[in-house]
Homo-oligomer: A and B are copies of this chain.
């Protein structure tokens, strides 16, 4: 039960491989290409993916604001896209970027700074 896909300029050959959620989005995992560190998670519709692939600037769909969002446009914390890979089932992309400044809106370099306690046997 897939949502209607918003019109976009995304290459139809790529669009055909996407498995979008009920809001028409795929997940975008963002990592720093130099270190491999995972920086943040965001969402893309077809047009956001198209813009990311063709402008070299990471562009997302803001679920809260319901609008396109070029990372760094207001913060200056630009993300220059180095590579994008789609996963095996087409519902997630992995975006490797050169990150300027902090990726997280809190000012932290990454959004994943809240370590949870792992109590089990970890080999």
**Does A71 belong to the interface (CB within 8 Å)?**
no
* Integer count of this chain's copies in the complex: 2
Evaluate contact between B41 and A85: CB separation under 8 angstroms: no
* Chain A to chain B: the 8 pairs with minimum beta-carbon distance, closest first: A56-B120, A36-B36, A85-B112, A87-B111, A86-B114, A94-B112, A80-B123, A55-B120
Evaluate contact between B35 and A116: CB separation under 8 angstroms: no
User: Which of B35, B37, B41, B92 interacts with A87 by CB under 8 Å?
Assistant: B41
Mask, A35-65, CB within 8 Å of B = 1, is 1111011000000010011111100000000
Evaluate contact between A87 and B112: CB separation under 8 angstroms: yes
CA gap between A14 and B14 in the complex, in Å: 38
Q: How distant is A36 from chain B, measured CB to nearest CB, in Å?
A: 4
Evaluate contact between B29 and A118: CB separation under 8 angstroms: no
Evaluate contact between A81 and B114: CB separation under 8 angstroms: no
**Does A77 belong to the interface (CB within 8 Å)?**
no
Evaluate contact between A86 and B112: CB separation under 8 angstroms: yes
Q: How distant is A57 from chain B, measured CB to nearest CB, in Å?
A: 7
